[in-house]
Structure 1
Amino acid sequence: MQFRLDNLTRQFGSQKAVDSVSIEIPTGQMVGVIGRSGAGKSTLLRMINRLVDPTSGSIRFGDVEISTLRGAALRNWQRDCAMIFQQFNLVPRLDVLTNVLLGRLNHRSTALSMLNIFSREERLMAIAALERLGIEQTALQAAGTLSGGQQQRVAIARALMQSPKMVLADEPIASLDPLNAKIVMDALRDINEREGITVITNLHTLDTARNYCERIIGMARGRVVFDGAPSELTADAVHEIYGADRHGAGIDETMTSTSINIAHQDNDAARKIPSPGLRPLAAAEA
């Protein structure tokens, strides 16, 4: 289904955090949103998920007007539009498996949710999601005991449990080291490519956007100032987005959290770093 924003605006007092954004995203694209802090990236994603209401404008998914949804219809949208946060948003004292199972809450009755009763099929689905992300061995650990990279993978597994039509990721690798950043971005790309799910992710590094996203949207002062393929992200476009000079001074694409993933690296040691086996959820369940 076509996803469309028309003149989407969010105003806080006299300041417009997002200012008249209009974009169309076909199903199955992996889109990176880049820009300086305060450019409006996070507010944009939160409006799409309806964690923040638009001041004006329209959000449409197919024939559904998302910006006016209320009650059960809004909860269904937030189920279909999974959100992954920079700070993971797990429940630290609960074990990993239960945290993943919480992704099923909007698929279940209120009574079952209150009683914390999950079916055998749901538990198998959660284990399969953890296996897909290479962290099934952590299933019975308290989520708060895991590393940041492991916690973010748990958050992705929880999002998979929602059976989403779209995944939003708000700075998912901002606090991770290079290897864990690569693992998390590999997982998001795998979801996009294997399931054909639209992924929109806010990113703070240019190399990550270039390496993983087929489309890049650049924001500055709440507005979209660039929208194109990675190959079109020229020095002039970088200047428009970040306010650097025309040669991109101040934006060093080699010193980034995902530099380990540069396609033509020659470092033998880097080649030996294992990545988790990312498998389609259906295959993991088999």
Structure 2
Amino acid sequence: MFEFKGLTRRFGDKTAVDNVTFDIPAGQMVGVIGRSGAGKSTLLRMINRLADPTSGTISFGGRTVSTLRGAELRRWQRDCAMIFQQFNLVPRLDVLTNVLLGRLNHRSTVTSILNLFTREERIMAIAALERLGIEQSALQAAGTLSGGQQQRVAIARALMQEPKVLLADEPIASLDPLNAKIVMDALRDINEREGITVITNLHTLDTARAYCQRIIGMAQGRVVFDGTPDQLTSEAVSEIYGADQSAIDESMTSTAISKPNANAVAAGERPLRPLVLAGV
């Protein structure tokens, strides 16, 4: 279980995350929503230790991860995989190699430098790509893929870490509705089949309601809502976004698409495959 106690992050005079305290049970899929600047990304970066808390603690499974250093910190960042809005792939490398980079924290420095991946790791990478319906692009340069395809490669790379926790920072913010649905389907599938805790920042309310078991709303660095999708009332939305509910049109960025259209399929945007990934 995750435990956040008095978690605070300041940047000079600005408080990005302000005295946040809550728990997340293992295996839960949580959506974090709020306006830009509410502290959502800073919260995820502190969980993964890309940013250090100014005060307060983060614990996982009884271990205080907010104070880890050296090898222990590297092991935590292996166990706590992160998916970014801008994918963070190496554009000139092929898709398969980008996915294999997810194994770096499992390997020695020498083999990492020499880029020596085992046959088993390559099989595992292909299986991850097959699961995400993108194995046909394994030898293609990552930079030539569409945004939706690149995000699926990033998810496959995260799976190669064999994580206990998966963080996704606005994973669909730069995607069209079809690809947003494919990516969110993939995250939910990972959560349900592997039992991996998924925490994702989202900017669309209907997506949070459709995919997340629990929604946390942030405003000005504080948690102002913590409940189920059914509890996310118009009053709660107004408190989170600081605006009248009538001014928020959820359909503008809806991901509620029932099936891919013919043009998207022709462009190679195949949906998630229901395959089991051995070893993850």
TM-score by length of 1: 0.93
CA RMSD of aligned residues (A): 1.7
- Counterpart of 2:118 in structure 1 is 119
The answer to whether residue 139 in structure 2 is matched with residue 159 in structure 1 is no
Deviation of residue 97 (structure 1)?
0.3
| Aligned counterparts, 1:1-286, within 5 A | 2-245=1-244, 248-261=245-258, 275-282=271-278
Contact 1:134 1:278 in 2 (8 A): no
Q: Following the alignment from structure 1 to structure 2, what is the Cα–Cα distance between the partners of residues 20 and 226? A: 14
Q: Following the alignment from structure 1 to structure 2, what is the Cα–Cα distance between the partners of residues 157 and 125? A: 10
Change (3 A) 1:63 1:269: closer
SS at match of 1:260: coil
Contact 2:58 2:64 in 1 (8 A): yes
- Counterpart of 1:264 in structure 2 is none
Q: Following the alignment from structure 2 to structure 1, what is the Cα–Cα distance between the partners of residues 252 and 117? A: 44
SS at match of 2:41: helix
Q: Following the alignment from structure 1 to structure 2, what is the Cα–Cα distance between the partners of residues 201 and 278? A: 22
For 1:122-175, what per-residue CA distance to the aligned partner results, in whole angstroms no more than 9, with x for missing partners? 000000000000000000001000000000000000000000000000000000
AA at the equivalent of 1:275: P
TM-score by length of 2: 0.95
Q: 4+ residue stretches of structure 1 with deviation over 4 A?
A: 267-270
Identity of aligned residues (%): 77
Q: Any stretches of 5+ residues in structure 1 without a counterpart?
A: 262-266
Change (3 A) 1:74 1:249: same
Q: Following the alignment from structure 2 to structure 1, what is the Cα–Cα distance between the partners of residues 177 and 8? A: 34
Contact 1:195 1:280 in 2 (8 A): no
Q: Following the alignment from structure 2 to structure 1, what is the Cα–Cα distance between the partners of residues 261 and 155? A: 28
Change (3 A) 1:115 1:219: same
Change (3 A) 1:100 1:172: same
Q: Following the alignment from structure 1 to structure 2, what is the Cα–Cα distance between the partners of residues 76 and 60? A: 14
For 1:49-88, what per-residue CA distance to the aligned partner results, in whole angstroms no more than 9, with x for missing partners? 0000000000000121101100000000000000000000
Q: Following the alignment from structure 2 to structure 1, what is the Cα–Cα distance between the partners of residues 256 and 21? A: 32
Deviation of residue 209 (structure 1)?
0.1
